[in-house]
Amino acid sequence: MNKPAKTALLLSLSLVLGACGQNGVPTVSPEAPTAGAGQRNLPVTLRAELNTPGKWFVELEGDPTALSAQSVGSQQAGFRAQAKALGLRYQEVQSYSTLFNGFSIVANGAEVNRISRMPGVLGVYRVNRVELPKTDISAALEPQMFYAKGMTGADIAQNELGLTGKGVKVGVIDSGIDVDHPAFKGRIVAGHDFVGDDYGKDGKYVPVPDENPDDCGGHGTHVAGIVGGNVPETGFKGVAPDVSFGAYRIFGCSGSSYDDVILAAMERAQKDGMQVVNMSLGSAFDNWRETPLAKAADRMVKKGVVMVASGGNSGDNGIYSMGGPTMGDNVISVASVDNVKIELDSFSLSDGSKIGYYAASGAPAPTKGLTLPVTKKAGSTPTTVNDGCTVSGAFPPNSLTGQAVLIRRGTCSFYEKAINAQKAGAAAVILYNNAAGYINPTVAGDPAVTIPVVSVSDVDGKKIDALIARGVKLTFDGGKVAVKNPTGDTISTFSSIGMSAELEFKPDVAAPGGNIFSTYPLSKEASGYAVLSGTSMASPHVAGIAALLLEAYPKIQAKDMRTVLMNSASLRWFFNNGAPLQGVPDYAQRQGAGMVDVVNAYSNTVRATPSKLSLGESDTFATRSKVVVLKNTGAKREVYDVYHAPALTISGTTLAPTPSNKTATMTINGSNVDEAALEVVVPPFSEVELNVTVTPPAGAADKSQYGGYIYLESRTGSNLVVPYGGFKGDYQSLASFGNLILGGKSYPAPWLVDDAADTFYVKGQTLTTTPDYTFKNVEVTFSDGSKDTVMDAPYLLVNLAHQIRTMTFELLDGSGNVVDTLSKEDYLGRNCTNDFAKRTSTCSAYYPLSWDGKLSNGKEAPNGTYQLRLKALKPLGDESNPAHTEVYTSQKFDVKR
């Protein structure tokens, strides 16, 4: 197990420390609202999105795992009868009865609001669209599966402990599994296709289910291969190569799926008797344990299924970025670690050495057998900052004819360097990094680059530079070379960061997920293999390890598997300035307890419970006291040196977190374990208590997340670790509504929008004229010259800067009195960004709320003056405390029908 330095954070660390700040603070200074007629230049009209009826979950009271099927059926029949009597208009899509008590429906906002008020309705939730995780094949990177297995001890479990997962059923809820791939021959024992090939194609979501879960998307086959693919002819083996599979297909060949389809697959997997279920999917930022999929996943654990789910790939979008089923209390939530080795295409040098490279996109691939002398620009050195750039004089005409030229990264684009070399007659370009590691360049441009361009590491670039004076040559011989991954064995930058909206500690563990070689559908890749990255690849690694442990210890309870894996994990170090900082643990909220270690989990006889400590906010109770129980189920006396291993604190802002070395302090059983280890003896078949007291970091910025580990270094057996996390300050002081950035300018938000006038009004702006709305369709010529027919109706664009417990949308009269409650939504996720320029199909900057001119009783609001108001109850907030609810009120407007 990687061992943390007991005083590592007292060292002088070369960290870029962030200033304290609010969540969601824009990257540019906000424009002050001024009096006037409003702003223009919204990039698109949003009316189509607003007027489309949505899909919703309706949850009825009563846990289906505690009710009989007859009781659940009776409740649902009663709801349908009551809804019919009330004249409610909705379309029922599907009903659920084993993991969720309720339905998915299609209805507009007004009908949903009425449904939410019906007796017996526990909650109403939006059905999220879930994107099929990206499956870009990296042909250049081909790390073998054994590299990843060696990182977690799965290779030892197979070869020395004899564990293969035989007899264990693992369900994969994904894009299906390639039923013709030899890796799964005869081992898919259950399955169902819930959607069909064309589901999601061209934006159409019409399910055509059948019993053949064959994969045409690719993602599910890759995931299943990691769990337990097995091809004796090629030597490929997943983590648990003898498991049986359940394949549950919830994606078409491309596109996305919906939460209600996933929930149906979860109920089917549980019904089919799966012992482990992997879900490499989720809705980023939707990080509440009360959401339908998280709640259903918890209920699967209650029914005896080990649930494993990816933590998410939104780490680049800041903290509180996890979401989906991974947020369930008893679900094993998995972060990603980069693979330790990568296998690259290579060329050979005339001194006999081999150099690994990436082939640049936008240029032709090197021809096998091509041999060229290597040169560089006169005067270029490994410290030149503008090598090959036009500003440095580029290359003299014809100076590179018939040669490969070595060019250092820096100052100008890869394309500019390559095209300048081509103009000087170069036959190939070798780019090398100006920082540690490899680069994957693009040289597309006009005119096109027509010569091969490859990139090598900084180390290899310096090596070639030193050989040029001796007359070195290179040959593209079609070879491969395995090289150390510079970021290997550290947490992947894309891995999502916790904690949950309710400050519960997440993720739980980490596993290899960056650059993973596994199976791929034969219909998409002739070789049957591909390299993908994501927490999608880390999660099935843990599912495979769970299968190995279930084979070894069939009596492990599903609810205890997470404890076994967390206790035995090993810490990953923070990656900074091109290298891991040895002994300095990465954020606990990014790695959980650390990398899973199946050998340690197999041999441990002592369990520490709880397996993690969620310390909450420090505003009311600064110092937190917890009890951890060590239970020895073995016949051997265990002795530990117990001390505190603080992880880096997350400072900065929600969207731009930064590391801080201001850490918490800890005592255990009254001893200061920051200064010296405490000896703890656990006799055979007995229990010992650790009384743990954690004090938040005094020097850390307000609104930081701190964390670390109780580290138990064994003198007699395997080490143990218990992570903790907490929030410094008043959690309810985080803003619910953030500013929005449009065209590089930040404006106070929410915004009241008037599409018919091609205008929006920012928060706090005083208007010189009162907007009016007719609720009629009008044709508008927008500021960008486009034309469209829109309904002349008001809507709000809201940036959700943080998760919201309950958001109430109200209609007020001109005097500020409440006319009606238009909607009330629970457990909202935050937005991915606050910048319109950064939004994508999977990264939203805003949350729209529209009003159709009707009251909740279905009648039209009379003409008059109104306002729209939003009230956001914050996570863990107290409704009776005004400081825990954030309020926005729009400008006044007139309804003129």
Half-sphere exposure of 793 (CA within 13 A, CB side): 21
Asked if 630 and 722 count as a contact pair (C-beta separation under 8 A), the reply is no
Identify the bridge partners of residue 373 per DSSP, sorted by sequence position: 473
Flag whether 823 is in a domain: yes
Mean pLDDT of 742-762: 91
- Residue-range definition of the domain harbouring residue 104: 52-126
pLDDT confidence of residue 440: 80
Per-residue pLDDT, 50: 55
Q: What is the DSSP letter of 446?
A: S
Same domain, 218 and 303: yes
Does 29 score more than 80 pLDDT? no
Does residue 14 register a pLDDT over 70? no
Q: Tell me how far apart the 2 most distant CA atoms of the chain are, in Å.
A: 91
Instruction: Let me know if 181 is a catalytic residue.
Output: no
516-523: average pLDDT = 93
Confidence (pLDDT) at 28: 58
More confident residue, 563 or 580: 563
Residue 577 lies in a domain: no
Q: Supply the pLDDT for residue 26.
A: 41
Q: Is the peptide bond before 750 cis (omega within 30 degrees of 0)?
A: yes
pLDDT value of position 31: 63
Mean pLDDT for the chain? 91
* pLDDT value for 391: 87
pLDDT band of 25, cuts 50, 70, 90: very low
Contact residues for 13 (Cβ-Cβ < 8 A; gap 6+): 576, 581, 584, 661
pLDDT tens per residue, range 662-714: 999 999 999 999 999 999 999 999 999 999 999 999 999 999 999 999 999 99
Say whether both 515 and 633 belong to one domain: no
Residue 859 lies inside a defined structural domain of this protein = yes
Q: Which residue has the higher pLDDT, 456 or 8?
A: 456
Interval 525-541 mean pLDDT: 92
- Evaluate whether 645 touches 680 at the Cβ level (below 8 Å): no
**Is 256 part of the annotated catalytic residue set?**
no
Does residue 117 sit in the same domain as residue 58? yes
Strand 91-96 and strand 129-131: pairing?
Answer: unpaired
Q: Is 336 a catalytic residue?
A: no
Q: What pTM was estimated for this model as a whole?
A: 0.89
268 and 197 both lie in a single domain: yes
**Lowest-pLDDT range of 155-164, 339-348, 460-469:** 339-348
174, 215, 260, 338: which one is catalytic? 174
**CATH number for the domain including 188?**
3.40.50.200
Which of 733, 753, 783 delimits the end of a domain? Answer: 733
Please check whether residues 767 and 825 belong to one and the same domain: yes
pLDDT of the residue at 589: 98
Residue 19 included in any domain: yes
Confidence of residue 32 (pLDDT cuts 50, 70, 90): low
Which one of the listed residues 116, 310, 500, 536 is annotated catalytic? 536
Could you tell me how far CA 293 lies from the centroid of its own chain?
A: 16
Quote the strand ranges of 533-664, DSSP E. Answer: 573-576, 579-585, 606-609, 613-617, 624-632, 638-646, 649-652, 657-660
Check whether residue 719 and residue 678 sit in a common domain: yes
Whether residue 744 is found in the same domain as residue 881: yes
Residue 586: pLDDT band with limits 50, 70, 90 = very high
Average pLDDT of the segment spanning 66-82:
94
397 falls within a domain: yes
Q: What is the pLDDT of residue 24?
A: 44
Helices (H), 86-140: 109-116
Whether the pLDDT of residue 20 is over 50: the answer is no
* pLDDT exceeds cutoff 50 at 139: no
At 410 the three-state DSSP class reads: strand
324-350 pLDDT, tens digit per residue, is 999 999 999 999 999 988 878 899 999
Please check whether residues 143 and 168 belong to one and the same domain. Answer: yes
Among 286-300, 805-819, 845-859, which is the least confidently predicted range?
A: 845-859
Q: Where is the domain boundary, 707, 733, 759?
A: 733
In this prediction, residue 678 carries a pLDDT of 97
What token pair was written down for 376? 């560089």
* Host H or E run for residue 747: strand 745-747
Looking at residue 780, what is its pLDDT?
83
pLDDT-derived band at 141, boundaries 50, 70, 90: very low
Q: Is the pLDDT of residue 816 over 50?
A: yes
Given the residues 181, 219, 222, 884, select the one marked as catalytic. 219
Is 5 a residue whose pLDDT tops 70? no
Q: Which of 447, 472, 497 is a domain's end point?
A: 472
640 has pLDDT over 60: yes
Burial of 356 (0-12, 13-18, 19+ CB in 10 A): buried
The β-bridge partners of 406 are 376, 430
pLDDT at 612 over 90: yes
Any domain includes 62: yes
Least confident of 202-211, 264-273, 321-330: 202-211
Q: What is the mean pLDDT of residues 474-497?
A: 91
With bands split at pLDDT 50, 70 and 90, how would you rate the model's confidence at 605?
Answer: very high
Nearest to 321 by CA among 750, 656, 20, 731: 656
- Residue 205: CB atoms within 10 A of its CB come to 17
Question: In residues, how long is the chain?
Answer: 897
Select from 236, 209, 210 the least CA-distant residue to 222: 236
The residue assigned the tokens 């939530």 is 333
The region of weakest confidence among 14-28, 168-182, 459-473, 503-517 is 14-28
What amino acid is encoded at 44 in this protein? V
How would residue 649 be classed by pLDDT, with cut points 50, 70 and 90?
very high
Q: What average pLDDT does the segment 285-309 reach?
A: 97
The Cα–Cα gap between 100 and 299 comes to 9
pLDDT given for residue 435 in this prediction = 84
Question: Alpha helix locations (H) across 273-317?
Answer: 292-302
Give the CATH number for residue 100: 3.30.70.80
**pLDDT digit string, tens, across residues 380-426:** 999 999 999 998 888 999 999 999 999 999 989 999 999 999 999 99
**Predicted pLDDT at 12:** 38
What pLDDT does residue 142 have?
44
Residues 134 and 120 in one domain: no
Specify the pLDDT at position 786: 77
Decide if 47 is inside a domain: no
Looking up residue 439, the CATH number of its domain turns out to be 3.50.30.30
DSSP at 234: T
Both 435 and 489 in one domain: the answer is no
Pairwise CA distance, residues 550 & 698, whole Å: 44
If asked whether residues 776 and 848 sit together in one domain, one would say yes
- The band of 43, judged by pLDDT with boundaries at 50, 70 and 90, is low
Q: What is the 3-state secondary structure (H, E, C) of 240-266?
A: CCCCEEEEEECCCCCCEEEHHHHHHHH
Number of domains in the chain: 5
In a domain, 519, yes or no: yes
Of residues 31 and 879, which shows the higher confidence score?
A: 879
Asked whether residue 815 falls in the same domain as residue 845, the answer is yes
